[in-house]
Amino acid sequence: MSTTEPAHPVLSLRGVAFERAGRSILRSVDWEVGEGQRWVVLGPNGCGKTTLARIATMWEHPSGGEIELLGERLGNTDVRSLRRRVSLVSAAMADMVRPALTALEVVVCARFAALEPWWHSYSDADMERAAAMLADQGLADFSGRAFGTLSSGERQRVLLARAVMSRPEFLVLDEPSAGLDLAGREQLLERLDVLASDPGAAPTVLVTHHVEEIPPSYTHVLALREGRTLASGPLDDTLSDELLSACFGLSVRLDRHDSPSGVRYSARQDR
């Protein structure tokens, strides 16, 4: 695995800071995401992961630093049109979906970056693509089901189908496994690996607290603590007992498990 910096990063952050209510929430974050990379952003509650995810997708404006996304520099570009080229999936977005919408409607309305289907008309190709995205998530039989009647795991997979509907050039998933049981988490990880196996897959960032939630197809990790970068680089070289211990503030033992689909991780307190 290459450790060199990508020649043309999809996302580049230099010295990014974020302050609110007199508090420093992110401090001097440098980060480059390249084509073909899939990053995990790891860190404890409140360390700034969601803030970073929102800044990286242009939903939040940093207090300082420089950002380039998809070749456009923040400050010299229309952020609304740039946002249409990226997808952010988060709990906040799930809460905005009207529960009566069908799974198919939730997916197809991403075609126009909308949360309701009625302001736009959709071509047969749009409907077919939405159905195919649901099928890719193992939800072919769920297209007519109301979003509000789906389980948490099924909803997450609908949101993932929605996230890729518009062919984003950069995909950010903020804690997609939150609230899922073991089977739901494993299904979601498998679907993330399936997405990643597409040769045209967008570079992706997955925010999580848990190394158990790192899909085998993921390549890099950025570890945050109290708004600062502790480490960033290829997973194999970067993730360690020492890094996790520093990140979560307790003595942690990391275990690697080889599986047919790649490396999985687990962690526990080292007593």
Ligand X SMILES: Nc1ncnc2c1ncn2[C@@H]1O[C@H](COP(=O)(O)OP(=O)(O)OP(=O)(O)O)[C@@H](O)[C@H]1O
Positions in the binding site for Mg ion (CB under 5 A): 49-50
Residues 6+ apart with CB under 8 A from 77: none
DSSP code for 167: -
Closer residue to Mg ion (CB): 130 or 214: 214
Instruction: Find where tokens 């190394």 sit.
Output: 211
Q: Quote the least distance from Cβ 206 to ligand X, whole Å.
A: 13
- Do the Cβ atoms of 97 and 105 come closer than 8 Å? no
Closer residue to Mg ion (CB): 50 or 166: 50
Quick check: 14 binds ligand X (CB under 6 A)? no
Quick check: 55 binds ligand X (CB under 6 A)? no
Stretch that binds ligand X, among 49-57, 124-132, 142-150, 213-221 (CB under 6 A): 49-57
Is 80 exposed, middle or buried, given 0-12, 13-18 or 19+ CB atoms closer than 10 A?
A: exposed
Quick check: 215 binds ligand X (CB under 6 A)? no
Beta bridge partners of 72: 69
- Do the Cβ atoms of 85 and 168 come closer than 8 Å? yes
Beta-carbon count within 10 A of 96 CB: 8
Residues 16-35 that bind ligand X (CB under 6 A): 20-21, 25
Quick check: 51 binds ligand X (CB under 6 A)? yes
Quick check: 50 binds ligand X (CB under 6 A)? yes
Q: Quote the least distance from Cβ 260 to Mg ion, whole Å.
A: 32
Residues 230-269 that bind ligand X (CB under 6 A): none
Answer with the entry of Mg ion, ligand X, none that 268 interacts with (C-beta below 5 to 8 A by kind).
Answer: none
Q: What is the dihedral of CA 126, 184, 234, 167, to 10 degrees?
A: 0
- Do the Cβ atoms of 166 and 114 come closer than 8 Å? no
Which spans of this chain sit near ligand X (rule: CB under 6 A)?
Answer: 20-21, 25, 43, 45-51, 209
